[in-house]
Structure 1
């Protein structure tokens, strides 16, 4: 006969208890992760991380701020006529651009490059990703190197695409305000998280579209994000669906008003203009007298 071993029974009981605990934790984790608040917090964190990566971003030795002279005026006079086009070898979204590698290629081969497809843009085989000047220095090998600097994928990525990071939050707000769902509380959460991302963006240095090498030679011309356009597009997209809900309008106006105080004059003017337009549209849609009165008072306070 085998001797009685109580430790094996105790071990089995402990193992069963651990299994139950893991199962409870797993169920709790799943239940928490699918909550809209958790999802929005993660989307906002991705947006803030994208802001931290992109602003300020100093590539080469170009100035961090815009200058009075348009960037296109700094290109060689025959740039368009004497340039070569670099097209992608596959279709998809531009996910990432290796600016350091691009600067290295431009400096080594004495090229001036213009990036025509910023991150987030969808490209096909015939599109021009990069315009390189002069074209007689752009061999097939160099074109392949330039092509490899841009990462193209099936989906958009928040790595260098702040617009996409913001768009994901906006889409949740739009869906929550659709007639089939009609969940304005979720829209309020979305507006708060948008405010978090734009608040991280406020006060940041905007990188110049012009990039120079160490000798002061122009090497790269790229696009930069217009904050006023980004903010107005995001908030107006929600306003189109939410002007009938006074709570949503109030949260939009309050968030935009707070953000406008820390933005540049151009962005502040654009946001305050949108603020007024949203209030006017909401006042026209309001069906209850006390809602119209509240909106009129809010509009008067905005105009002071």
Structure 2
């Protein structure tokens, strides 16, 4: 397995770790164990600087035991409260915004750190109590344990206050939407890098590929799942003696079933599928979509929030309008980006790669299609959609204008099927004026 494939799999594994509630707390617990050991056997109070010694006064073993017991009991209580608040927040997020938004909450490093601090403090107190009798004669170690315990207790008190504020803020609709948008902005460079910045590759037209004299070999999916990452470098690095090029029929975010057509290799002589079995590792499949190579992932999250807000059960058009604003801002950010080319060729070996890629028009469709379909009975949302599309149109090139125009015409056609008062009809017509001027031009 090549280094690039291993790197791609490590990225997927790291993505799963970053959205877990156990990884950071476990690291912090290990740190508390190391600190406890250091206090017991390495650091002596007498070795501390003079300005720190007044902060760590000498105490008796009985007082330390009582202090450790009190802090340990309080911390396990605080930890249970924190876990309960977290589960309540996850439940509210699942019901209000959609189950796929839970990933964003689990990726919250503040929550993970708070849980880690509390569990680490409890573990520090527990280990200290266990070894207290063995260091009864070591006054310096006992004083250090007492000082660190008081310090951790103060930090935990501040932490629980911050956590209550953080949780109450994180479940607000505007904050959830802002977090999704910020996550998209922070990952634009990795989602849409310049694909041909590598001097070894260049983009070519699809007609450049030649498959007439090749021996096609189809590789099928070994299992079902979502495409999480594709290591394109593995296909570009194939030997020109064996293949003239390859075609990847899936892209990140697609769902494939077992035995589905995954890759077609155009070999220069007949080969068995076993000769290229390692290429299966270049396409990583998993049980869920990830944002690693999928620019539509964060867009889909914002769309899901808007759709739930427009549902009859929730009926919150203001949240939907906020989502539309963020979706428009996201599309404006990427409208001038260079999207990956459909076909690449290696400059030295002339091994080519044909693939399915993301396009700006496809992201616009993902962002606005379902929302405009759900907004049929919300005139204010339709007007806001038209105004947002007009703003987006002013930033886009000529190729994307047609896609935006189609969405505007569809919204206007949907509005004509509703019974509207004169003011609402006038608002729709006013919002359509920029598109009519564009059409006249």
Do the structures match in fold with TM over 0.5? yes
TM-align CA RMSD: 2.8
1:258 shift after superposition: 1.5
1:206 shift after superposition: 2.9
**Residue 47 of structure 1: aligned partner:** 184
C-alpha distance 233-26 of structure 1, shift in aligned 2 (>3 A): closer
String of CA shifts for 1:272-303, please: whole Å, max 9, x gaps.
23213313422542533211122122223431
* Counterpart selection for 1:38 from 171, 175, 189: 175
Tell me the TM-score normalised to structure 2 length. 0.60
Instruction: Confirm or deny that 1:104 pairs with 2:104.
Output: no
Q: Is the CA contact (8 Å cut-off) linking 2:249 and 2:263 kept in structure 1?
A: yes
**Residue 49 of structure 2: aligned partner:** none
Q: Is the CA contact (8 Å cut-off) linking 1:50 and 1:161 kept in structure 2?
A: no
Unpaired runs of at least 5, structure 1: none
Number of aligned positions between the proteins: 294
1:49 shift after superposition: 4.4
Q: Quick check: 171-180 or 213-222, which moved more?
A: 213-222
Instruction: Confirm or deny that 1:77 pairs with 2:212.
Output: yes
String of CA shifts for 1:174-195, please: whole Å, max 9, x gaps.
1110001000111011111111
String of CA shifts for 1:23-51, please: whole Å, max 9, x gaps.
11111121222222222222223333454
Structure-2 separation of matches of 1:110 and 1:133: 6
String of CA shifts for 1:213-272, please: whole Å, max 9, x gaps.
122614211122232233134212101111322321222112211212222312112202
* Counterpart selection for 2:300 from 167, 182, 194: 167
**Residue 202 of structure 2: aligned partner:** 62
DSSP-derived class of the 1:83 partner: strand
Structure scoring higher RCO (CA < 8 A, sep ≥ 6) equals 1
**Residue 279 of structure 1: aligned partner:** 412
Q: Quick check: 220-229 or 276-285, which moved more?
A: 276-285
Structure-1 separation of matches of 2:59 and 2:347: 80
DSSP-derived class of the 1:105 partner: coil
C-alpha distance 216-249 of structure 1, shift in aligned 2 (>3 A): farther
1:111 shift after superposition: 4.0
Structure-1 separation of matches of 2:59 and 2:298: 63
DSSP-derived class of the 2:238 partner: helix
C-alpha distance 144-18 of structure 1, shift in aligned 2 (>3 A): same
C-alpha distance 160-236 of structure 1, shift in aligned 2 (>3 A): same
Tell me the TM-score normalised to structure 1 length. 0.85
Instruction: Confirm or deny that 1:251 pairs with 2:384.
Output: yes
Query: Larger helix proportion, structure 1 or 2?
Result: 2
Q: Quick check: 11-20 or 200-209, which moved more?
A: 11-20
C-alpha distance 109-28 of structure 1, shift in aligned 2 (>3 A): farther
Q: Quick check: 276-285 or 182-191, which moved more?
A: 276-285
C-alpha distance 278-213 of structure 1, shift in aligned 2 (>3 A): same
